[in-house]
Structure 1
């Protein structure tokens, strides 16, 4: 582990399977997550692995932590790369290596550690989402009570893994959870910029149908809490790294 937070280096496990013309016109997820965290910690370094193509870090323990991106793929697809990713998540959990997952990442972490993923009962959620902060760890001290994040999903974590504590919730489900001090997740997309979600909304207009589209358009008139989220995630990694050297709490 690097000493101090100046030289921290992270793996971005890129799961986004979208190779459409739209995807090629916009920054890839590795760039988006790098830009997000560098808003708060410009000196941190990131290596991107296209895990969706079967490209994984040789030794995940080399890194100070990892982030798992979103994807139109399903965590329940049974694809070989998904199975391998679930194994890596279990390995990181056993090592208490700091891990943050967004959207697909949030669902994959839940699934890998014994939770359940299902189709969202109310159908597609897309646009600006408001999430009630239901826990306030030290690293989230500057987040507002209601956290606004762009989202786009049709699946959700129905059952949290054992030992998980809800972090955020929306409507009738958990939209972010923590396990110990080394795992944190968000169902939604802190890395998405306003320009990108607007473009994505147009791209998916036919698929999502007129009602979801109209709701999404209306929601995009207001800002999200991106700088506060960047700072919170950076502090999460710093706190998780600092705690790694300490013995784990004994199980009750």
Structure 2
């Protein structure tokens, strides 16, 4: 029997529908597709805790999954609105269930806050397009989450908020000049979370669609000078998605195989599946 995952969507209904209208899939559906590409027999259920009245798993239901994955979100966790508080409560239940859990961007922020850490806006501003020169810490160099990553690498990213105060039992695994916490392991209430602030699940095509909907931000915050500049950047990413061997575009944007090769780009998710999900399923003797 294939692995069973719960993919927890961090977005509200309107935001995930807008993403689907532009890209063809909600973020949770896109994440599930990545998991099923890694593990073709995987079964992926979706959960929408931002929705009032959402049918969320109880503790026993969470324990029934082999792995739980948290997507990104347009929300800011410090707003503490009901759609956010439901997600924090769910993450606390995930910890208590001791089910292997991984999260990207919003995922690591939810995991940090649920374990009594803090998330605030980054004082140096937004990280957009790619997180550059991600560097494993001393702990990260030997940690299985980053197995196969080089001494410095880039990854798709888009976020303004970041973890600013670590939970009590947290090991930072990677960092860069923009965010001190780019990858981490968090232990809380018997559960273990692995997560990253960047987005290893994003293809360049999905990243292009996301940035194409945010050209106002790119211009307002100084990443691009004009709408034409922003459109050209998005077009280059879309072209690299179709033809990752387009050398001049890869050179122009400083991208290498850590981003262009889908296996290497999704390394952290693959490592989570291999080192946590499969091993823990085997240890529990589950068929």
Q: Which of 38, 41, 48 matches 2:39?
A: 41
State the Cα deviation string for residues 156-181 of structure 1 (Å, max 9, x = none). 10112111101211115111101258
Distance in 1 between residues matched to 2:111 and 2:262, nearest whole Å: 22
Residue 143 (structure 1) aligns with: 149
What is the match of residue 117 of structure 1?
119
Q: C-alpha separation between the residues in 2 aligned to 1:195 and 1:229? A: 13
C-alpha displacement of 1:41: 1.7
Contact 2:98 2:192 in 1 (8 A): yes
Paired residue for 1:159, among 131, 148, 165? Answer: 165
Question: Contact (CA 8 Å) 2:200, 2:267: kept in 1 or not?
Answer: no
Is the partner of 2:78 in helix, strand or coil? coil
Quick check: which has more Rg, 1 or 2? 2
**RMSD value over aligned CA atoms?**
2.6
Which is worse superposed, 155-164 or 73-82? 73-82
Q: Could you tell me whether the CA contact under 8 Å between 1:22 and 1:203 is conserved in 2?
A: no
Aligned CA distance change for structure 1 residues 233 and 53 (closer, same or farther; 3 Å): same
Partner in structure 2 of residue 250 of structure 1: none
With structure 1 as the length reference, what TM-score do the two structures score? 0.84
Gaps in structure 1 of 5+ consecutive residues: 1-5, 247-252
| Number of the residue aligned with 1:175 | 182
| Partner-residue secondary structure (3-state), 2:183 | strand
Whether the aligned pair in 2 keeps the contact of 1:98 and 1:237 (CA below 8 Å) is: no
Provide the residue aligned with 2:21 in structure 1: 24
Is residue 12 of structure 1 aligned with residue 7 of structure 2?
Answer: yes
SS of residue in 1 equivalent to 2:77: coil
> How many pairs are equivalent?
241
Confirm or deny: 8 A CA contact 1:9 1:44 kept in the other structure.
Answer: yes
For 2:121 and 2:196, the matched residues in 1 are separated by 17
- Is the 2:19–2:26 Cα contact (8 Å) retained in structure 1? no
Aligned positions of 1:54-133 closer than 5 A: 54=52, 55=54, 56-58=56-58, 59-130=61-132, 131-133=134-136
Distance 1:51 1:213, change over 3 A: farther
Distance 2:104 2:268 in 1: 14
Q: Distance in 2 between matches of 1:174 and 1:11?
A: 25
CA drift of 1:139 comes to 4.8
After alignment, is 63-72 or 177-186 more displaced? 177-186
Q: CA deviation at 1:94?
A: 2.5
Alpha-carbon separation, structure 2, partners of 1:66 and 1:52: 16
Q: Secondary structure at the residue paired with 2:68?
A: strand
Report the equivalent of 2:247. none
1:202 — aligned with what? 212
Q: SS of the counterpart of 1:24?
A: helix
- Of 78-87 and 110-119, the range deviating more from structure 2: 78-87
TM-score between both structures, scaled by the size of structure 2 = 0.75
Q: Which has the higher contact order (CA 8 A, sep 6+)?
A: 1
